[in-house]
Amino acid sequence: MFSKILIANRGEIAVRVIKTCRRMGIRTVVVYSDADAGSMAVEMADEKVHIGPSPAAQSYLLADKIIDAVRQTGAEAIHPGFGFLSENAAFAKRLEKEGIGWIGPNAHAIDAMGDKISSKKLAAEAGVSTVPGHMDLITDTKHAVKISREIGYPVMIKASAGGGGKGIRVAANDKEVEEGFPAVKAEATASFGDDRIFIEKFILEPRHIEIQVLGDKHGNCLWLNERECSIQRRNQKVIEEAPSPLLDAETRKKMGEQAVALAKAVNYDSAGTVEFVASGKDKGFYFLEMNTRLQVEHPVTEMITGIDLVEQMLRSAYGEKLKLKQSDIKINGWAVESRVYAEDPYRNFLPSIGRLKRFHPPAEGKLGKGEVRVDSGVREGDEISMYYDPMIAKLVTWGKDRDTALDVHGEALDRFQIEGIQDNIPFIAAVMDEARFRSGNITTAYIKDEFPEGFEGVAPTRTQEAQLICSAAYVHAFFDRRARQISGRLSPVTAARKDWVVILGDKHHPVTIDIGRDGDAQITVNGGKAHSLVTSWHPGQHLVEGVLDGKPFAVKFADRTEGYIFRHRGVALRALVCTPVVADLHARLPEKPKADTSKLIISPMPGLVVSMEVALGQEVQEGEAVCIVEAMKMQNIIRAGANGTVKAINVKAGDSVAADEIMVEFA
């Protein structure tokens, strides 16, 4: 086996590869950019090599620098992870010529299958059902509109070298093609260094199902069941699971065998994924593309099969034969993965950049009736940069069946604490409890269908409301009790107050709380029956975890200048705890008027202005594109919220902007 490998990647996938290498006794080298100098991967690796500035185009995408790092360290092979150079056939060919091992499929397979256009042609020639579309290159926007009309709307505009949800737009009419085509080309160039585009029919009510394949250099190839990846936002996966709630054994076998046949046609020899779009009505499926690399969502396959895919990639690259047979591949239980992103779900999932003031993921191992795994490349105090993908971590849970895996996932999300930036945990938690998702009747349009106006949080159930009220009362009463202590004893004059009012959101809830010597409490809310709270919470913790009326729960909270913010399963409410007199005064205070920002175009996030689409004095209609701001490799079209005339333009293409910076003003 290799004695030392170089990991040409960053973040959680670099950490993931290091963990398997440590277990196998393989030394690791990581390359890093300026932005990643203090990263977890750099700290964990045996050796590190600096390769340039923060932008990927000046560091992780430069083959010369990666190969120089191999020469400096004596690494025998390169693991590319996903993204960056992982599907670059020219890079794989160069490594082969220079005698450097490549922990991935052979260059021929990458050439044939990694390119989205050639792979579709190959699939069609092999008799694989494919989605209708135009596989030849699209020359310009006018040509794109013509092709889209011929295929029939809606269509999907895709980068040929795309992956990871980048370089994809769905267009329902000519105008959306005119806007989407140049945006996709720009994203493709920035992310992959390849601006080739193709267009295909967007199938209504589709489900995204993919088959994991695994091959060696001796002609052996297996399929390792499927993953359901239909929960997507902006064509990027958010929640994945294995197996799929749609497939039966017969359909699974057909898809698996078809995936293997396609892989064998190009002598595939590593871990790879064949992606299909499937119909929820008749279980018919069509080939979409093949990703000639390790997928982000590979942990769910590992959880239900017990197979370490990174280890298998290493063994295949070293020339070992697969020791597994197709009959060895089973399905043990159910696994669910959610991608925890640095983005604000309450602001249309815009990227959130900054420092992780708090990062406490749930503990790995047993939780409730299942298991928890966390794949991450960050720690508390690390910075989420604008230069790379916004993923903070992957949360993976396992259970004996789907309901159990989902229940455990919700419990794990309750215990996942992040502060300093916005994250999408509230949204994921809300999905976990949503009836349609729980039923398994999902499509790639699920998020758009169920949250048409965007995510605005969810209203608390009675049980959640009781948990939040009791948690707020307990935390505040505990602090009050400690403040009144004199030499470790309560003064008779300043006995602990028991009567409070919890203002949760805009509702007032009178409570009476009695905390015992052991820290447990009896809490009466709104004059009702007393709740019994058992908890080991103490100051310094931002998670109230315990048992309320015999049922386990966990509620996250953060301090605010006035009160706290409590979060649980998509519910986020401000809580004030005060005396009845203060609560009465608070109820009489007038609401502060909201500032009028209707005449301003404000940057919703830190980023780089790609282009300004309007000029001084121009009349702009509501919904019209005003400018494009790029952050975390995604181009975001900023649109006018109302009709108006451009009065001032404060930024230009190439400028960096901060969150909430005023870019354009209307008369």
Q: Which residues are catalytic?
A: 289
Contact 78, 100 (CB under 8 A): yes
Which helix (H) or strand (E) segment holds residue 522: the answer is strand 521-525
Q: How far apart are CA 617 and CA 131, in angstroms?
A: 46
DSSP 235-248: TEEEEEEES-SS--
CA angle 121, 127, 130 (to 5 degrees): 55
How many Cα atoms sit within 13 Å of 473 on the Cβ side? 32
The answer for residues whose C-beta is within 8 angstroms of residue 475's C-beta and 6 or more apart is 537, 544, 557, 564, 577
CA distance 32 to 49: 6
- The candidate with the shortest Cα–Cα distance to 77, out of 308, 314, 319, 321, is 314
- As a whole number of angstroms, the distance between CA 177 and CA 152 comes to 12
- Token duo for residue 252: 């699974």
CB environment 257-285: b (16+ within 10 A), e (fewer): ebbbbbbebbebbbbbbbbbbbbbeebeb
Which residues face 335 on adjacent strands? 242, 398
CB 198 within 8 Å of CB 117 = yes
3-state secondary structure of 422: coil
Question: 523-532: which pairs have CB atoms within 8 A and are 24 or more residues apart?
Answer: 523/469, 523/470, 523/473, 523/474, 525/466, 525/469, 525/470, 525/473, 531/466, 531/470
HSE, side-chain direction, 13 A CA sphere, residue 148: 27
Burial class, 189, CB count within 10 angstroms (exposed 0-12 / middle 13-18 / buried 19+): middle
Side by side, the strands of the sheet bearing 662-666 are 600-602, 662-666, 644-649, 619-620
Residues in the chain: 667
Rounded Cα distance, 214 and 313, in Å? 8
Cite the beta strand spans of 260-310 per DSSP E: 271-279, 285-291
C-beta separation of 66 from 31 below 8 A: yes
* CB atoms inside a 10 Å sphere around CB 666: 20
CA distance 148 to 212: 31
Structural contact between residues 411 and 385, judged by C-beta atoms closer than 8 angstroms:
no
Q: d(Cα 623, Cα 641) in Å, to the nearest integer?
A: 6
CA distance 643 to 42: 50
Side-chain-side CA neighbours of 6 within 13 Å: the count stands at 27
Q: How far apart are CA 103 and CA 17, in angstroms?
A: 11
- CA-only gyration radius of the chain, Å: 27
Task: Look up tokens 């604008």; give the residue.
Answer: 386
